[in-house]
Amino acid sequence: MEIALVTGSAGLVGAASARFFASQGLQIVGIDNDMRQYFFGRDASTNWAREKLQSDLKGYRHHAVDIRDLQGLEQVFSEYGKDIKVILHTAAQPSHDWAAKEPITDFTVNANGTLNLLELTRKHCPEAVFIYTSTNKVYGDTPNSLPLIELEKRWEIAQDHKFFKFGIDESMSIDQTKHSLFGASKAAADILVQEYGRYFGMKTGIFRGGCLTGPGHSGAMLHGFLAYLMKCAISGQHYTIFGYKGKQVRDNIHCYDLANCFYHFYRAPRVAEVYNIGGSRFSNCSMIEAIELCQVITGRKMSYSYTDDNRIGDHIWWISDVNKFNQHYPNWSYKYDLKAILQEIHDELLARGQTQAAA
């Protein structure tokens, strides 16, 4: 039996990965205790996604274990042992705003939880592939020192800069920068996953994501940019833009495309490999551009306002250079561009009845 062990299995990336790997014939074991509800409130609960996985995936087994609970995780790893062929570690506290409220919770979930999983992988299934969903926030606010130019609807990097054509590559330093506490906890985990690869020879892959998105996102004000934006666009709920004139740029990758990246790595793993991964030049937008597209898709004018107070450690311009991953895995390609992503989020929100248009 080939088992894919997925942490955060009811979250956006976890659920997409569970479905993708199940479609390739692996049995899925999920670990998720719905901490997203604790982080962001009842509307952000992932229970609906867990129930859907249990309904849709034959043989899916779920464990409501906190990844900080070493003893609870030990029982899971002991049960499946070397049948575990890949660990897809997507569980996290994902918001740099929220992390400042409870730094200890943030760090123990993101860093200690990752250490628990790495050590149990080394103990029970050392030949398994370990895939970690990291973040571009490990680079802190270093991207904000790039030579940026203000255009009508977005910030853009100078055309003569090496990052202009493809985006930011893995050569950017993660040192001497303001990360946010979230970025610091994720950087600690990122380095741990690299170290277990280099020190113990384990097959580990680190994916430093831009904006990870898709219809399975339980969007909240502090996390889930496109999903929360579309929720506001449909419902008429007010949306606040934080800083940078609303021209800050994000690249956006659909969770299906990211899960496909994971599968390519699983099929031909490497040791302690780091990839920037996101929508690249293929799928990116500024806040203003995203609002405009949401209004086109919904046919409704959004209610939004602007405040000059930007989020601490936020990026003014981020586009991922995915060339390294594409060179290693040339058969991988995108399925979803920005418009397709937002249309799918819109359709899923209406289908779930999660949000109702304001009168």
pLDDT tens, 77-95?
A: 999 999 999 999 999 999 9
pLDDT at 239: 93
Q: Where are the domains of the chain?
A: 3-352
Which of 20-34, 48-62, 213-227 has the lowest average pLDDT? 213-227
The answer to whether residues 30 and 76 touch, using CB atoms and an 8 Å cutoff, is no
pLDDT at 26: 98
pLDDT at 350 over 60: yes
- The strand pairing partners of 131, in sequence order, are 88, 205
pLDDT at 354: 54
pLDDT at 167: 98
What is the spatial distance between Cα 78 and Cα 86, in angstroms, rounded to a whole number? 15
pLDDT at 359: 27
pLDDT at 219: 61
pLDDT at 313 over 80: no
Average pLDDT for 223-234: 85
The answer to whether residues 192 and 10 touch, using CB atoms and an 8 Å cutoff, is no
- Coil, strand, or helix at residue 231? helix
pLDDT at 218: 66
- The strand pairing partners of 86, in sequence order, are 4, 129
pLDDT at 220 over 80: no
What is the spatial distance between Cα 171 and Cα 146, in angstroms, rounded to a whole number? 14
Please, which pLDDT band fits residue 53 given cuts at 50, 70 and 90? Answer: very high
What is the spatial distance between Cα 37 and Cα 45, in angstroms, rounded to a whole number? 4
What is the spatial distance between Cα 115 and Cα 31, in angstroms, rounded to a whole number? 15
What is the spatial distance between Cα 267 and Cα 263, in angstroms, rounded to a whole number? 6
Please, which pLDDT band fits residue 57 given cuts at 50, 70 and 90? Answer: very high
Average pLDDT for 315-342: 97
What is the spatial distance between Cα 47 and Cα 53, in angstroms, rounded to a whole number? 10
Specify burial of residue 96 (Cβ count, 10 A radius: 0-12, 13-18, 19+): buried
Class level of CATH domain 3-352? alpha beta
pLDDT at 357: 40
Please report how many Cα atoms fall inside a 13 Å half-sphere around the Cα of residue 27, on the Cβ side: 10
The answer to whether residues 253 and 213 touch, using CB atoms and an 8 Å cutoff, is yes
pLDDT at 283 over 60: yes
pLDDT at 203: 98
What is the spatial distance between Cα 17 and Cα 216, in angstroms, rounded to a whole number? 11
pLDDT at 358: 36
